[in-house]
Amino acid sequence: MTTHRLQARLITLGTAIVLVVAACGPSGSTTAPGGTTPAGTQPAGTQPAETTGADLPYDLWVPDPQLLADAQAEGTISTIALPASWCNYEEVWTTFIDRTGLTYNGITPDAGSAEELQAIEANKENPGLQAPDVLDIGLAFGPQAKDAGLIEAYKVSTWDSIPDDAKDPDGFWYGDYYGVLAFEVNTEVITDVPGDWADLKDPQYANSIALPGDPRLSSQAIQTVYASALANGGSLDDAAPGLQFWKDVVEAGNFVPTIANAGTIAQGETPITIRWTYNALANRDLSAESGGAPIEVVVPASGRFAGVYVQAISAYAPHPNAAKLWMEFLYSDEGQNLWLNGYCHPIRYQDLVDNDKVPAEQLAQLPDVEGAVFPSLDQVTSASELITAQWDSVVGVDVAE
Amino acid sequence: MSSAEQTTPVTAPKRPARTASTWSWLGVLPFFLWAVMFIALPAAFLFVGSFLLRDGSVGLQNYADLTTGAILPAFANSIYLSFFSALIGAIFGFLLAAAVILGNLPRFMRSALMTFSGVASNFAGVPLALAFVFTLGNLGLVTKMLAETFGFNLRATGFSLYSMEGLILVYLYFQFPLMVLVIAPSIDGLRREWREAAENLGATPYQFWRKVALPILMPSILGAGILLFGNAFGAQATAFQLSGGTIPLATLMISSQMSGDVLFNPGLGYAVAMGMVAIMAVSIVAYSVLQRRSESWLRR
Amino acid sequence: MSGGGSAPPFGPLGVMRSWLRLSGSPRARRGSGAWWAWLVVILGILYFFVPLAATLEFSLRACAPPNQPCTAPDFSAYANTFDDPFFFSTLAFSFVVGLVTIVISLLIIVPTAYWVRLRVPRLRPVVEFVTLLPFVIPPVVLVFGLIRIYSRPPLLVTATNFGSVALLVAAYVVLSFPYMYRAVDAGLAAMDVRVLTEAAQSMGAGWRKILWSVIFPNLRTAALSGAFLTLAIVVGEFTIGNFLAPYGFGPYISLLGRDKIFEPAAVSLISFGLTWLAMIFLALVGRGRGSRVQVAGAR
C-alpha cells in the first residue's frame, strides 16, 4: 500500500539531509561562537576605545612585516579558554583580526587552566582546529607546562619591561595581567555593603555569601579561601585560617552553597560573592547596561590578594608564527592597554605608567589595589593543596543522607 | 496460539542452515563495529590511563587512592542520589505514562506529553539548576509565594535546594520524562483484550494490575529503572552548579581531575570512571538476572 | 481507537480485536478520564511548568533602558537573542546533526535488535551491556579518548571540519544507543517478531524486505520515542561538542551563561520551545498516514 511511498519519502528526506549537512555544514569560513563579535552587539564592560591614534598616549601596534607575512601564510590563530568578557579579550582579538587579517579560532572559552594543558597534550599530532597555539594559564601551570614539554620559549620584543618575578628566565612563560580579589555586591538586596573580610561573618548577611566556584576545583574559589586567610590571622605561608574563616561564615548562617554566577547575583540568590576585580567590574557594567541589579565592587580594606596569569606558546602549535605575532600584539603598549580597559592590570603596568602610556581616564577607573600581596609559585601550590584536601573536613557541610 | 502456527509449517529459512548462522553474526556486525570504534577504543584508553600516575610512572596507586579522601563518600552519595531519583522517577513516570495512555484522557495529551518529555528529559545542567534556584531558592518564586500567601517559611522546615533532597528534586525533572518515554511502548503493548478478558472473568482493576499487567510490565519497568539510575549516575552539569562544594559526587570527582584548575591528576579521574563502570556493570548484571526470571511471564 | 495499541491486526485474532473495538468496552468512558489520571497529570504539569515560569519571570527583568528598574515586561533579553546570528546558526547545526544521528542510529539499532531477538538471543545481555556503556563513560572522558585516537595518524579524522563533525555524529550515535535500543527492544517485544517474520518469509520476502516493509513500520511509536530523546540529547549536549566541533547549541548556551545575565534564561526557554515544536513536527510526520499499520504483501 503506502510502503513504497513511505520508502520514497524516507529516501528523499535522507538525501536532503545529507545534502544540507554537506553544503551548509561548517566550511572553512564558519567560526565557532566564541570567535568573532556578532554584528551589532557592544562588547560588554568596556569603555568605547575606538578613539583615533592621535588621542591616545601610546602608539598603535605595528606588526613586524616578516612575522606578519609568515603568520598570514598560516592564516589562523587558535586560542583557548578566552571568554569575551574576561579582561576585554573580545576587543583584543577583534583588534588583532583587523590589524592582521588572520582568522580567529577561539577554542572552548570556558575551559580551565588544566584543560588547556590537556588540549595540547591530546592534540600533539593534530593540525586541526582543536589544537591551541597559545595559552593563558594560572601561574602554577607555567612551570608545570614547561616540565611537561608542552610549551616553547619565545621572548617578545618588550621582554625586558616584564617584571622578573613574573616570567620564566628562559622565556617559556611570562605573566600577562593580574587582578585583586574583591567583593561583588548586589546593592538592591544588600544595603549595607561589607568593607572587609571580617564583615562577612556579620549575621546581617544571612544566606547571602557564595563562592565563585567549587573550592575543590576552581582556581578562583581556592584563591578566595587563600585570600581570606590573610585577614584571619594567617599569611601567604599559612592558608589554614582561611578554611577556619569559611567555617565561621557557614556557622554564622551566611553561606549559600551554590556557585555564584551573573544570573544568581542578579536574581539575588547570591548577592555577595568574591571575584577578581576585572570580572566583578565587567559584570557591574554589564548589569548596569542590561537592566540587572545595581552592583558595587569593593576591594577589601585588608587582605588584598593578587593573582597572576601567564602566557605561553604551545610547542605543538599548528600556527607557530601566528602565535608569535599574537604575543607581540599582547605585549605591545596597545595590547596592554586593551587589557587595562577590561579592568585588568597588565603585567607591564608599572612600565606604562612610568612612561605615561596610559590614558588618564583609564587610570581613574582602575580600582585601588595598594598593598596587594602576590603569592609566589610555591606558596600558591602548597596553599591549593591544603585547601582542596581539607575543605571537606574543615568546612564541608556533610550532606550524605 | 494462532491458527497461523497450525496451518503454516515451521518455515525453514530460504537459505541453508549453514549460511543462516553466518548471516546471524553478520546481522549484528555493524553494531559491534560501531561500538568497538567509538566506545571500546576510548574506553580502553581510559582503562590504560587509569594506571598512569601523576609523576608519569605506571602503577595501581590511583586505585588505591579510590579509598582515600572524599572519593568513597562521593560514590556513596552518587549511588544514593541515583537510586532515589530513579525510584521516584520510575514510579511517578510510570503513573504519568499510564495516565495519558490508559486513563481515558483527551487524545492530544498523549502526544503532548511524549513530545514534552523528549525535550524535558534533556533539560539539564546550568539552565535546569538555575530554573530551580529561581523557583525554590531563597528569593525564589515559590518560596516567596509560600511566605506571602500562606505565611509558610520554607527555610524553617530545613529544606534547602542545595542538599541531597534538593538535588533529587531537581534530577527528577529529567528522570520523569525519561521514564515516560521509555515505558510508553511497553504500556502500549498491554493488549485491550487482556483487560477485557480479566473484566469478563470478574477481576477488579486492582487484581488485573497486580496479577496480569504489572508482572508483564515488570521487566520493562526494571529496565527503565536501570536506565534512570545510569542517567542520574552519570549526570554532572546540574550537580556541579547546585552543590557548589558541599556534596561530593563521583562525576564531579572525575571532572575535577580532568578539567579543574588544580591538582590535575587525570589518572585518578580515569580510575574513578572505572569505578563507575564497575558499579554500572553490577547493576546491569542484577537487572539481567531479574529480567530472566520475570521474562517467563512473557512466554506466549 | 483508544489505547493506541500498535500490534498488527492480522489473522483471526485481529478480526476479533477490530470487532471488539467497534463494539466498545462497557467500561469505556470516552474522554472523561479517570480521576487518578487527571490528578497525576495536574501534578506533573505543576512540577514541570513552575520552574519554567520562574525562568520566564527572571528573563523579563532585562531592560533596554539601563539604570532604571523595569516597570513593564521588557523583552530585550529575547530581542538580543534573536539579534545574535550565532543563535540561529548553532541551533540549526545542532538540529541537522541530530537528524543525521537519528537516522544512523535507527539504521544500526533496528536490525541489531531484531537479529538479537530472532536469531541470536544468547547475545542479548552482551548487546544490552554495550548499549548501556555510554552511560557509564562520562562524556568528559569519552571525548578525550576519541580525540586521542582519531586526531593522530593513521586515523587522522579531525584535520578537516567535515571529519570533526563526522566524529561528533559518531559519538552522538553512541550516546543515543541506550535510549534507541531500549525503545526499539520494547517495541519489538510488543509485536510477535517470530510470527511476522515467518509469515513474511512464507510469502517470499528476503531479509532486507522484511526489515524495511514489516519491522520498521511496526516500530513507529518506539522509533519515535527513541528519536525524540536523541534529538534532545544532541541539541543540549555540551561536553563532546565543545571539544570536537563547537558550532553546536550546547556550547553556545554555556558561553552565553558566562558573559550575559538574562540572555541564558531567555535562550533556554526559546530552545525548550523550539525543540518541543520540532518534536511535534516529528510526531506528525511519523503518524502521518493513519494509525493503522500493515503487514507486508497484499491484503
pLDDT-flagged residues of chain A (< 50)? 1-2, 21-31, 34-53, 398-401
Instruction: Specify the higher pLDDT residue, C234 or C148.
Output: C234
The two domains A56-178+307-365 and A179-305+373-395 share their CATH topology (first three levels equal) = yes
Average pLDDT for C249-270? 84
Give pLDDT, residue C271: 84
In percent, the amount of chain C with pLDDT more than 70 equals: 81
Taking the CA of residue B222 and the nearest CA in chain C, the distance in Å comes to 12
The mean pLDDT of chain C is: 78
Could you give the angle at which helices B192-200 and C11-23 cross, rounded to 10 degrees? 70
- The alpha carbons of chain A give a radius of gyration, in whole angstroms, of 23
Q: Which partners does chain A have (≥3 C-beta pairs < 8 Å)?
A: B, C
DSSP string, B243-286: HTTSS--HHHHHHHHHH-SSS--HHHHHHHHHHHHHHHHHHHHH
CA dihedral A76→A80→A81→A82, nearest 10 degrees, is -20
With an 8 Å Cβ cutoff, are B31 and C112 in contact?
yes
What burial class does residue C138 get, using C-beta atoms within 10 Å of its C-beta: 0-12 exposed, 13-18 middle, 19+ buried?
Answer: buried
Taking the CA of residue B162 and the nearest CA in chain C, the distance in Å comes to 16
Taking the CA of residue A115 and the nearest CA in chain B, the distance in Å comes to 5
Contacts of B133 in chain A (CB under 8 A): 258, 264, 267, 269
Q: Which of B72-86, C145-159, C227-241 has the highest mean pLDDT?
A: B72-86
Kindly state the helix (H) or strand (E) to which residue A297 belongs, with its residue range.
strand A295-298
Range of the domain at C194: 86-299
* Residue from A303, C219, C171, A241 nearest B42 by CA: C171
In a domain, C41, yes or no: no
> What is the CB neighbour count within 10 angstroms for residue C82?
12
pTM for this predicted structure: 0.79
Give pLDDT, residue A37: 35
Locate cell 538555575: which residue? Answer: B130
Closest partner CB to B133 (pick from A221, A258, A399): A258
DSSP string, C188-215: HHTS-HHHHHHHHHHTT--HHHIIIIII
Give pLDDT, residue A154: 94
What burial class does residue A267 get, using C-beta atoms within 10 Å of its C-beta: 0-12 exposed, 13-18 middle, 19+ buried?
Answer: buried
Residue B127 touches partner A, C-beta closer than 8 Å? no
Give pLDDT, residue B82: 94
Give pLDDT, residue A36: 39
CA A129/CA C276 separation, integer angstroms: 33
Residue of C nearest to B220 (CA): C186
CA A374/CA A226 separation, integer angstroms: 12
Give pLDDT, residue C252: 85
Give pLDDT, residue C47: 96
In a domain, C43, yes or no: no
Instruction: Specify the higher pLDDT residue, A26 or C277.
Output: C277
Give pLDDT, residue B154: 78
CA A287/CA A295 separation, integer angstroms: 7
Amino acid letter, residue B186: S
Question: What is the residue-level pLDDT of chain B in tens, covering all 300 positions?
Answer: 344 444 445 555 554 444 455 666 777 888 999 999 998 888 888 888 888 887 778 888 888 888 877 788 889 999 999 999 999 999 999 999 999 998 888 888 998 898 898 889 888 888 898 899 999 988 888 988 888 888 888 777 778 888 889 999 999 999 999 999 888 878 887 878 888 888 898 888 888 888 888 888 888 888 889 888 988 988 877 888 887 667 888 887 777 766 654 456 777 878 888 888 888 888 877 777 766 665 655 543
Q: How many CA atoms lie within 13 A of A303 on its CB side?
A: 28
Domain of C184, CATH number, reads 1.10.3720.10
| Cβ A338 vs Cβ A95: under 8 Å | yes
Q: Which three cell numbers stand for residue A302?
A: 585588608
In a domain, C57, yes or no: no
Q: What is the CATH number of domain A56-178+307-365?
A: 3.40.190.10
In a domain, C173, yes or no: yes
| Cβ C258 vs Cβ A109: under 8 Å | yes
Contacts of C68 (CB under 8 A, 6+ apart): A291
> What is the CB neighbour count within 10 angstroms for residue A65?
8
Residue B155 touches partner A, C-beta closer than 8 Å? yes
Is C188's pLDDT higher than 80? yes
CA C114/CA C99 separation, integer angstroms: 22
Give pLDDT, residue A185: 95
CA A31/CA A77 separation, integer angstroms: 12
CA A55/CA A74 separation, integer angstroms: 34
Is C151's pLDDT higher than 60? yes
In a domain, C175, yes or no: yes
CA C6/CA C221 separation, integer angstroms: 8
Q: What is the CATH number of domain A179-305+373-395?
A: 3.40.190.10
Average pLDDT for C19-34? 48
The 3-state secondary structure of A248-268 reads HHHHCCCECCCCCCHHHHHHC
Contacts of C186 (CB under 8 A, 6+ apart): B182, B183, B185, B186, B189, B220, C222
| Cβ A322 vs Cβ A97: under 8 Å | no
pLDDT digits (tens, 9 = 90+) for C237-258: 877 887 777 788 888 887 787 7
Give pLDDT, residue A199: 92
Q: Which three cell numbers stand for residue A358?
A: 596610559
- Cα A165 from chain centroid (whole Å): 21
Give pLDDT, residue A291: 79
Contacts of C165 in chain A (CB under 8 A): 21, 25-26
In chain C, how many domains are there?
A: 1
Class of domain B69-298: mainly alpha
Q: Which partners does chain B have (≥3 C-beta pairs < 8 Å)?
A: A, C
Give pLDDT, residue C170: 93
Residue C73 touches partner B, C-beta closer than 8 Å? no
